[in-house]
Structure 1
Amino acid sequence: MSLQAELKQYLLQQGVSDVGFGQVLDEPKGFMGGCGHFVSLAVKLSDAIVDEITTEPTHTYFNHYRSVNAFLDQMLLKTGLFLDRAGYRYITVAASQSINKDGWNYDGRYSHKKAACLAGLGTIGKSSLFLHREYGSRVRLGTVFTDCAFETEQAKPVSVCGGCRLCVDACPSGAILGGEWQVGTARSEIFDPEKCSRHMKEKYKHIGRGAVCGVCMRVCPQACKRLQTVQKS
């Protein structure tokens, strides 16, 4: 068994829902200290917990959100230690960590969604949420960069939203602008993270200090389609 296959098997056994591998080709030389390949991890959220979200998040969802992020961070570290034991370098990108740069607090070190798309795990919706190929919007993501040269394919995801506007119409902040995502679309063209964050901090202080919402994730039919298929089989 190859190191790559062994790592994927290990992570799935640890409870990670899906694993993908990719390579960054559009960054300058020396990006991530020469760690240009990556492992993309996806962990599925609880359907029962997400389904409780109505017009605002729940206390249970906030706890679940934090728990899954913490689990992902542990899995990112375990991935890195696995690679380190095999003689490779690694850099973890936290599951949920914003970096304040020049007064803008809505970017991370690298986009987990972009990595997951490149790894072939799914696409991005009008909501700017990542849509997993099986679990739809109901996942959290994490990424580990490494100098281990995995076998990869540069996936070319396409939009699956079409004329659907459920997330646009349900968004309580008006942050989802209604545009359809394609490869190369800037987040600012379809989503306003500052408007989303401001609404959460103003309206949901009583639930996790205004750190989560989840309404757009709850209404996304990409998850519902999967659930309907399971119910019919």
Structure 2
Amino acid sequence: MKDKIKKVFINLGAEVCGIANIDLFTDAPKGFRPTDIYSSCKSVIVFAKKIPKGLAYVSPRITYKHFNDVSLIELDRIAYAAANEIEKMYNVITVPIPSDVPYEYWDEENMEGRGIVSMKHAAVLAGIGSIGKSSLLLNAEYGNMLNISAFLTNLDLPSDAPAENICIEGCRLCIDNCPVKAINEYGVNQKLCRQNAYISNDRGFDVTNCNKCRTICPMAFGKK
């Protein structure tokens, strides 16, 4: 069953798919657990879409921003289609989760937002990757060039094995090269990061002003 479910996502355009049983989410913060959204959730299916490597070689302002957003739209499309298909296949319930926005939690003072489910932490539990010092997900094959989505289901499925941690011990490139020093050994200051990275240009379009932590990483494209 797991292989058939994963094949649905791959056929719809995902590069990676993993599964985490609800038992792994006991340490998730209250209010952000899958069962806080869907009380009968037994498993979380996590999948990811890669962005083209070339987006790491250009200014992030327009091209990177636009096509990174396209990948998020694609993830929502995959979640919607897969949810309907798997419900028909197994006569179960599926709850697709937005890959990015909208979400509810917002700390205005610290400019800290949280998705209704933490996609990167769900991805770690589902064996897709590990979290680097930059707080980006690192996958052995695709590096940090992945965007993530998930859906919840009442199918009780076994978890996939944890992924290899490919973040290089002792490497500080993302920390030392952050232009606003938003990254440290304890995490990322979202306020410093957001104020520098997400702005509007003179025409009023939203642009991405910085993606240095993604592009500077030696594991940006995975293990060589």
TM-score range, shorter chain: 0.7 to 0.9
In the TM superposition, residue 24 of structure 1 has moved relative to its aligned partner by 2.6
Matched, 1:66 2:74: no
Partner amino acid, structure 2, of 1:62:
K
Partner of 1:107: 114
> How far apart in 1 are the matches of 2:107 and 2:176?
32
Partner amino acid, structure 2, of 1:73:
D
Partner of 2:169: 162
Partner amino acid, structure 2, of 1:14:
L
Partner of 2:46: 40
Partner amino acid, structure 2, of 1:119:
A
- Indicate the SS of the match to 2:114: coil
Partner amino acid, structure 1, of 2:105:
N
1:18 to 8, 16, 19: 16
Partner amino acid, structure 1, of 2:50:
K
CA displacement, residues 127-166 of structure 1 (integer Å, 9 cap, x when unaligned): 0011112111111000111111122246376462311111
- Indicate the SS of the match to 2:193: helix
Report the count of equivalent residues. Answer: 210
Partner of 2:220: 223
1:209 to 190, 206, 211: 206
In the TM superposition, residue 83 of structure 1 has moved relative to its aligned partner by 2.4
Q: Which runs of 5+ in 1 are unaligned?
A: 180-188
CA displacement, residues 31-78 of structure 1 (integer Å, 9 cap, x when unaligned): 42211301111111100122224xxx2311111111000000011111
Say if 1:212 and 1:9 are closer, same or farther in 2 by CA, change over 3 A.
farther
- Indicate the SS of the match to 2:39: helix
Higher helix share: 1
2:96 to 83, 92, 95: 92
In the TM superposition, residue 172 of structure 1 has moved relative to its aligned partner by 2.0
Percent of aligned positions with the same letter in both sequences? 23
TM normalised by structure 1 equals: 0.81
Higher strand share: 2
For the Cα contact (< 8 Å) 1:117–1:157, is it kept in 2?
no
CA displacement, residues 184-225 of structure 1 (integer Å, 9 cap, x when unaligned): xxxxx3111121112224xx4229524563221111111356
> How far apart in 2 are the matches of 1:128 and 1:29?
21
> How far apart in 1 are the matches of 2:117 and 2:213?
23
